[in-house]
Amino acid sequence: MCGIAGLVNCPNDERLAVMTDLQAHRGPDDQGVRYFPEESVGLGHRRLSIIDLSPAGHQPMSNDDESIWITFNGEIYNFNELRTGLEQRGHRFKSKSDTEVIIRLYEQDGADCVKQLNGMFALAILDRRRKKLLLARDHFGIKPLYYYSRNGQLAFASEIKGILASGIYSPDINWQGLYDYFTYLYVPSPQTIFRDIQQLPPAHLLELDLESHEMKVRRFWHLPRESANGNGKAEDYEGAKAKLRELLSDSVRRQMVADVPVGVFLSGGVDSPILTGLMAETSRQPVKTFTVVFQGKNVELYNEQAQARATAEKFGTDHHEIEVDISQPVEMLNLIDHFDQPFGNPTFYLMYLISRAARTGAKVALCGAGGDELFAGYPRYRAIGLAKWARLLPQSARGGARRLMNMMADDFSSATLRRGRQFVDGLDSDFAQEFVNWTYFLREDQKRSLLVLETRNGGFLRSSRIVDEVLREDSIKEIGNRALAVDLQTFLPDNILEYTDKMSMAVSLEVRVPYLDYRVVEHSMSLPFRYKLRGRDSKVILKEAFADLLPTANAKAPKRGFNFPLAVWMRDYFDKYFDAYMGREEMKRQGILDWEYIQLLRAEHRAGKNDNSYPLFSLIMFDIWYRKYISGAGMPEISFA
């Protein structure tokens, strides 16, 4: 796990060194900068040493004749198998690193070599002989990669701050990105909040011809297009279970390979206990497990201490509980420095805390990200299951579907339940728009009220276009798997994996995600939705495939997720930010947000509509970002005493 940076047609290696060093937290163990005057290309690297800790793993790394150079962030889990195959073809290696395997594979297969990589990666390969530069990002966007290109110049980096330090870009707001931010609480790729700075989308390559300056972006992998497996026979289901167990077990085994200590983030529920059990089957030492435990009043809804302890006791782990005092959340507002964009999902704070604690005992940690999106773990998927059935009903019968949803919704939040009813009502409308209305935050009319006229620049594209684009790319007919496909390619990379990467890298911890081995994903997405959701029971095939690894309390516990008391924090602490830093005059000078509408949202929240906590928090995070990156005012001195 590392940080990378690069410049094209910007002959200033001092800038490249600054771009690289700004990402030192991503790789504190080693650094390297290499400039190639003939090609006018510079490559930078910060190293977090995980495999082959020797100097032989130093980057940027070259092949034997120095015609190919690479700077690479990530881990390739099948590198030993790839290495064996390459050695059989006559390739010889100077190191034990997975980085060198990529170089040799590129020598053999060119840009298409990335199709053979099983892992998480963001990389840049300079081919001096062919005068090409290749950028690539892994199948699900586990590792980030940003770039800016104009007038033959290119800057790229693992974090936006690297591009901002390049000297070839002046910060400006991407208004469409801002509009979408208030829909999703993050800026969906390929855009960022900065005009003209892009994210390379997951499973994509960028190929740049260094002579003609022609740049092409193309996709190298797709989700399975249809739910092809399983016709309802018992043997089909049993075969699917066996294959799932085989693939996920192999994924965990591969991802435990490291030359440094490895642990796992352990919560209640299903995903991380399965990982813990599989790790315990492989490890010769007790598995290191880490769990967040809230301290304070009314924290029972959020704590999963008992379930995590049950798993730790079952497998005899070296268990660590990280106590979090919920009365002191101010520190989290300063973490926007690690995102470089406004980011409105406060779960990032818990990821930061558990990563910081885990780093004291491990350099690598596995986590259960992706399990919910693959196996219908979120409560909202139950409403989709009901909607799938209700879609067959005439309009006059849909009232009964809504009543049934009421009966099934004992552990739904009020917001989820209300949006689920709206989804059933809107089944005859556009799927993409209904999905966005139901699943995410501010509606189109609310955003137009929030953003003042001057920022509209002729109007915004509807945020539902993001879902439309996914559905066009991956034509899945079954409504349940369609929803999973959307979340796998939007919510997961741009939200869950975004904060997982940024917060773990903030403390120089590598986090691996075994559920996102592309073989596991391909298998899951090929299965009928009914294998994953059965009535009110979610993750059915996952639970049954690994029933022996799950404590009884975990298998039967309701879905809680990686939760936090945001409504409490907003009421008792964060709401004060608006009066201190976002008053009427401040908003008038800013000219972006409507002060009157913000007061309306605050009033609704104080009246008990707690699902407004997220939009309010996203407003604070935007204001902090704006002060730091656009207005030049810097971070406010935040105090909630």
* Active site amino acids: 2
Q: d(Cα 496, Cα 348) in Å, to the nearest integer?
A: 9
Find tokens 């991802």 and name the residue.
255
Residue found by looking up tokens 């991956």 in the block: 474
**If you ran DSSP here, which 8-state letter would residue 412 be given?**
-
Helix, strand or coil for residue 122?
strand
The alpha carbon of 205 is separated from its chain's Cα centroid by a whole number of angstroms, namely 19
Query: Residue 456 to residues 84, 123, 170, 460, 582: CA-CA distances in angstroms?
Result: 56, 36, 21, 7, 21
| Dmax (CA) of the chain | 73
Sign of the C-alpha dihedral, residues 150, 153, 159, 164?
negative
Q: Find tokens 């869950």 and name the residue.
A: 496
* Residue entry with tokens 């935007």: 622
CA nearest neighbour of 340 among 155, 166, 164:
164
Neighbours of 486 (CB within 10 A): 25
Alpha-carbon span 298 to 300, nearest angstrom: 6
Cα–Cα distance between 3 and 159 in angstroms, integer?
8
- How is residue 566 written in tokens? 């945001």
Residue type, 565: P
Which residues, including other chains, have CB under 8 Å from residue 494's CB and lie 6 or more apart?
Answer: 141, 184, 186, 187, 188, 189
d(CA 519, CA 529): 18
Measure Cα distances from 341 to 186, 457, 502, 623 in Å: 8, 21, 11, 11
The structure tokens listed for 8 are 């094209």
Closest by CA to 455, choosing from 614, 594, 631, is 594
Rounded to an integer, what distance in angstroms lies between the CA atom of residue 311 and that of residue 290?
Answer: 11
Residue 86 CB-half CA count within 13 A:
22
Burial 433-456 (b: 16+ CB within 10 A, else e): bbbbbbbbbbebebbbbbbbeebe
What is residue 413's three-state secondary structure?
Answer: coil
- The alpha carbons of the chain give a radius of gyration, in whole angstroms, of 24
User: Do 117 and 111 meet the contact criterion of CB atoms below 8 Å apart?
Assistant: no
User: What are the residues facing 136 on neighbouring strands?
Assistant: 123, 205
